[in-house]
Chain A
Amino acid sequence: MTGGAETRGSRAGGPAAAAGVAVRGLSGGYGPGRDALRDVSFAAGPGQIVGVLGPNGGGKTTLFRALLGELPISRGDIELPGRPAYVPQTERARLDFPVSAFDVVLMGAYGRTPWLRRIARRDRDAARAALERVGLAGEAGAGFGALSGGQRQRVLIARALLQDAPLLLLDEPLSGVDGVSAERIEALFAELRAEGRTLLVATHDVRQAAAWDQVLCLHRRQIAYGPPAAVLGAETLRETYGAELIVLEGGDRAVGVGHHAH
């Protein structure tokens, strides 16, 4: 059980950490005795990017659902800096819906638009600005389904930008996206970090996570949490991925788990 000690360690940030996200002793899942995720304790302050690592079914999406308030929690508690924005995997979105890239970004303003009112002009302007930030100003009118996978991912990130949330949860945002999109997305992460937002990024790619501030390793429970240099050792990765020592992702990218582990 590494969770407790490391949580205390990173919470030593004091008041700054209190404005970020804090999870203490969290267990939850699909009803009593059916926890999908156990003993998760971590805290991340503003301006921190946390890589969430784990195998498929390891609990990355489950953790996000818990943070979004959509998962029954059996123990523990969660402290949030406000309503988080969620960036789903693009495959979860319907490609045949009659929505343009701009329409999708505007959904980020739904939560603050009063019942029966039109979306405010300043939100429409902000939506255009968000599309520009992800490098898709020219695609505003394009149908969402007609965009490439990487472009769709960027549109969903622009939607989260419009939500203007202090905490962003991103589910495999770099999986299977093209080089241009990946570059743009990683540059955006740096900007969001500089703005003082907290990012939780689920990923399969250990090398990516190594470049971020903290790493959270999950395998149905918390294996480790802390700075990458301290956490990404052979033992932790073996525990996180189990027998799955080499994780292939997107066909062209072999994650170096095997090298660390041997």
Chain B
Amino acid sequence: MLDLSAPYIQRALLEMLLLAIPAGLLGSWIVLRRLAFFTHAVGTVSFPALVLASAWGIAPQVAALAAALGFGVVQERLERTRRLGGDAATGLLLVGALAAGVVLASDVFESGTEVDTLLFGSLIGLSAADVWLTALVGAGAVALDAGLRRHWLGAGFEPAGARALGLRPVLGNRLLLAGIAAAAIVAIGAVGALLVTVVLVIPAATARLLTDRLASLQLAAIALAAAEGVAAVWLADALNVGAGPALAVLGGAVFAAVAGATALRARAVPA
């Protein structure tokens, strides 16, 4: 049974509930704008930076932010100069970062548990500062979504005509990627660098199976991310594993169940 009086459990629950806000709002855009691989890569490239941050004693979020920015710049340049296709560039940077992180970690850490924590998250590692930062990113996600949702919708729906509609597609895209990077960085503490998509993508992808309206998609994704997050804290505590793997297993199972149920219903009631 979950010990609600334990401060680390309280912090973990609060973190998961706060994380559900950017996960639902931005996660819906990640799914609609097909940015899941980018999201995964932003989390992963921050892994070597987190190792270095740990070795040099600097704030992990600052290091992760630097890595995410560096990744964004290199990715954009590789794509713009057409030296490498978008997904191939992402894949290359992603495995490079993972390998660099493992090599660095073998020098920095004495045991593998710290590496596990960075990659898969931890319930006990969360600080009050982590929770505050997540709250800040959640507020930022609300503001970004309110200010830019028409730009994201118009440019995502049909890019060629976006400027003719009076939208700012390039600026909108950059701010969307920046918002996703910020959400990924605050998610790392709870679910780990390798598993940010379990909170930023899977709940929204599951909600997408259930609704055809943007507003209800975002609300359902927030609710699902919150419910799965709370359940994952319980599961992680019970099994003594990281919150990331617990959430991945739960999110995957819920997605499979919803996908199966909607497929069955579609067969029963042919459109």
Please report A residues at the B interface, Cβ cutoff 8 Å: 68-70, 83-88, 92-94, 97-99, 103-104, 107-108, 110-113, 115-116, 143-144, 156, 163, 169
For the complex with contacts A86-B160, A88-B158, A99-B153, 19 further pairs of A-B residues with Cβ separation under 8 Å are: A68-B164, A87-B161, A88-B161, A92-B160, A93-B157, A94-B158, A97-B153, A97-B157, A98-B212, A98-B213, A98-B214, A107-B153, A108-B165, A110-B166, A111-B167, A113-B150, A116-B146, A143-B212, A144-B157
Are A85 and B166 within 8 A (Cβ)?
no
Contacts of B208 in A (CB 8 A): 98
Residue B70 is within 8 A (CB to CB) of chain A in the complex: no
Measuring CB to CB, which residues of chain B are less than 8 angstroms from any residue of chain A?
32, 146-147, 150, 153-154, 156-161, 163-167, 208, 211-214, 217
A86 contacts B161, CB within 8 Å? Answer: yes
Q: Which of A68, A110, A163 contacts B150 (CB 8 A)?
A: A110
Report Cα–Cα, A66/B125, bound state, in Å: 55
Report the minimal beta-carbon distance from B204 to chain A, rounded to whole angstroms: 12
Contact B160 A88 (CB under 8 A): yes
Query: B156: which of A69, A83, A86, A94 is its contact (CB, 8 Å)?
Result: A94
Q: A69-B163, A83-B164, A143-B212 are in contact. Are A115 and B147 (CB under 8 A)?
A: yes
Chosen A-B contacts, 17 in total, with CB atoms closer than 8 Å, are A68-B163, A83-B166, A84-B164, A85-B164, A87-B161, A92-B159, A92-B160, A92-B161, A97-B157, A98-B212, A99-B157, A107-B154, A111-B166, A111-B167, A115-B147, A143-B212, A169-B164
How many whole Å from A170's CB to the nearest CB in chain B? 11
Q: Considering only CB atoms, which chain B residue lies closest to A169 in the complex?
A: B164
Contacts of A143 in B (CB 8 A): 212
B32 contacts which of A84, A97, A111 (Cβ < 8 Å)? A97
Give chain A residues whose Cβ lies under 8 Å from the Cβ of B166.
83, 110-112
Shortest Cβ distance from A171 into B: residue: B160
A111/B158 in contact, CB under 8 A: no
A110 touches B154 (CB 8 A): yes
Q: Which residue of A lies closest to B216 (CB)?
A: A98
Residues of A within 8 A of B156 (CB): 94, 97
Bound complex: CA of A28 vs CA of B213, how far in Å? Answer: 41
Minimum CB distance partner of B214 in chain A: A98
Interface centre among B146, B150, B211 (most CB of A within 10 A): B150
Q: How far is the CA of A86 from the CA of B159 in the complex (A)?
A: 11
Chain B contacts for A86, CB-based, 8 A: 160-161, 164
The interface residues of chain A lying within 8 Å CB-to-CB of B160 are 86, 88, 92
Residues of A within 8 Å of B159, CB to CB, are: 92
Cβ-neighbour of A107 out of B32, B147, B165 (below 8 A): B165
C-alpha gap A110/B165 in the complex (Å)? 7
Chain B residues closer than 8 Å to A99, beta-carbon distance: 153, 157, 214
Contacts of A116 in B (CB 8 A): 146-147
Ordered nearest first, which 6 A-B pairs have the shortest CB separation? A111-B166, A86-B164, A93-B158, A86-B161, A88-B160, A97-B157
CA distance A92 to B164 in the complex (A): 15
B-side contacts of A113, CB under 8 Å:
150
Instruction: Please tell me if the beta carbons of A110 and B157 are within 8 angstroms of each other in the complex.
Output: no
